[in-house]
């Protein structure tokens, strides 16, 4: 199994010309201003993180060549991760038991990356953030708020964002990687990859879903259904949830739907759901949970963290998950 993981990692880093770039994590990232990110197109997928006055974008096409990027934001160390095999992009607080951790690719389990921290030698499942062996076995990393979106949408929201600067050799591979990520997000390849665990055939194995787990209840929201619904009012683990999906960029955000002690229900205010209206107060909100107009103006809903990834990856770690349908 470990040999298979090494082979997969090498294939993921293979250039069209046949050269191999090392598949290794970035522990000293460099960033450039948005105006200098000429290596990105508006529809390229990025993971966006904001903390205080700091906003950063991590291009998926770069992340898929490294697996993990160690970074720090104003409220602490983070690890920005991407598994190219299962299309999973997640950010974790890079610390456990009061100790900062740095991660590096170790092997594959269930066709999902396992990363080992350099400090304790513990192995962590990327899809769940759980330590599966080593001194910290059983510990779970805390998910950090992140938005999977496009470069154009993130830059519009945060004009002053910084962008992860790709290393020489890796930058040249980004255009082809970016096209592949966009293609498989729209229409996933047939079947699950080798090594996947028990398959749940209710959805195609590599359909992209936004997974959500609250208090042991889990739900998968297929992007194909979200593109139709655009706004979903749901309840997961007893928590009222609103999910907003902007079809033009596949940006999907989720929030606790309570404000001022009241549960709100929402509907799209325009075709792309870049703004929404709550039915209780008729206030207008943006797709990021901020009320722009109406009696609740200035109110910010609490973000709920989604896990976008292929269905096979979500379902194998969340057996029996509910599936959302728009009809």
Q: Tell me: do 111 and 252 sit in the same domain.
A: no
Examine residue 48 and state whether it is found in any structural domain, yes or no.
Answer: yes
What is the residue-averaged pLDDT of the chain?
93
Q: Tell me: do 174 and 221 sit in the same domain.
A: no
pLDDT of residue 199: 87
Residue 16 has pLDDT above 50, yes or no: no
Q: Tell me: do 43 and 169 sit in the same domain.
A: yes
Residue 19 has pLDDT above 60, yes or no: no
Among 4-8, 118-122, 172-176, 309-313, the range scoring the smallest mean pLDDT is 4-8
Examine residue 197 and state whether it is found in any structural domain, yes or no.
Answer: no
Residue 138 has pLDDT above 50, yes or no: yes
Element (H, E) at 223: helix 223-229
Examine residue 194 and state whether it is found in any structural domain, yes or no.
Answer: no
When pLDDT is averaged across residues 196-213 and rounded to a whole number, the result is 94
pLDDT of residue 188: 86
Examine residue 203 and state whether it is found in any structural domain, yes or no.
Answer: no
Which residues form the domain of 259?
208-323
Q: Tell me: do 118 and 222 sit in the same domain.
A: no
Torsion of the alpha carbons at 51, 93, 242 and 323, rounded to the nearest 10: 150
pLDDT of residue 15: 34
Q: Tell me: do 22 and 140 sit in the same domain.
A: yes
When pLDDT is averaged across residues 158-175 and rounded to a whole number, the result is 96
pLDDT of residue 207: 96
When pLDDT is averaged across residues 202-227 and rounded to a whole number, the result is 97
**Percent of residues, the chain, with pLDDT higher than 70:** 94
Q: Is the dihedral of CA 224, 225, 228, 231 positive or negative?
A: negative
pLDDT of residue 327: 79
Q: Tell me: do 241 and 134 sit in the same domain.
A: no
Q: Tell me: do 160 and 259 sit in the same domain.
A: no
Residue 17 has pLDDT above 60, yes or no: no
When pLDDT is averaged across residues 194-203 and rounded to a whole number, the result is 90
pLDDT of residue 20: 72
Number of domains in the chain: 2
Instruction: Please give the structure tokens belonging to residue 69.
Output: 């990027």
- The CATH number given to whatever domain includes residue 317 is 2.102.10.10
Q: Tell me: do 173 and 259 sit in the same domain.
A: no
């Amino acid at each position: 199994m470990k040999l298979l993981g090494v082979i997969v990692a090498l294939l993921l880093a293979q250039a069209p010309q046949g050269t191999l770039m090392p598949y290794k994590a970035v522990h000293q990232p460099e960033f450039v201003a948005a105006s200098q990110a000429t290596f990105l197109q508006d529809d390229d997928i990025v993971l966006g993180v904001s903390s205080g006055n700091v906003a950063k974008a991590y291009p998926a096409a770069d992340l898929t060549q490294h697996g993990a990027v160690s970074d720090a934001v104003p409220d602490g160390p983070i690890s920005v991760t991407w598994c190219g095999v299962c299309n999973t992009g997640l950010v974790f607080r890079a610390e456990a038991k009061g100790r900062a951790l740095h991660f590096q690719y170790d092997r594959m389990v269930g066709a999902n990356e396992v990363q080992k921290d350099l400090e304790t030698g513990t192995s962590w499942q990327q899809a769940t953030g759980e330590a599966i062996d080593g001194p910290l076995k059983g510990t779970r990393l805390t998910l950090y708020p992140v938005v999977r979106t496009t470069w154009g949408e993130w830059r519009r929201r945060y004009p002053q964002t910084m962008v992860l600067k790709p290393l020489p050799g890796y930058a040249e591979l980004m255009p082809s990687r970016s096209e592949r990520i966009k293609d498989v997000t729209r229409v996933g390849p047939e079947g699950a990859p080798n090594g996947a665990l028990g398959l749940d055939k209710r959805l195609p194995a590599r359909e992209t879903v936004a997974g959500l787990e609250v208090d042991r209840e889990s739900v998968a929201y297929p992007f194909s259904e979200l593109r139709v619904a655009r706004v979903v009012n749901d309840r997961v683990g007893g928590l009222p949830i609103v999910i907003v999906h902007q079809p033009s960029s596949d940006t999907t955000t989720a929030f606790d739907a309570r404000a001022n002690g009241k549960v709100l229900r929402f509907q799209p205010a325009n075709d792309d759901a870049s703004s929404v209206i709550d039915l209780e107060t008729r206030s207008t909100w943006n797709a990021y949970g901020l009320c722009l107009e109406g009696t609740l103006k200035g109110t910010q809903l609490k973000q709920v963290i989604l896990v976008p990834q292929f269905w096979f990856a979500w379902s194998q770690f969340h057996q029996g998950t509910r599936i959302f349908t728009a009809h």
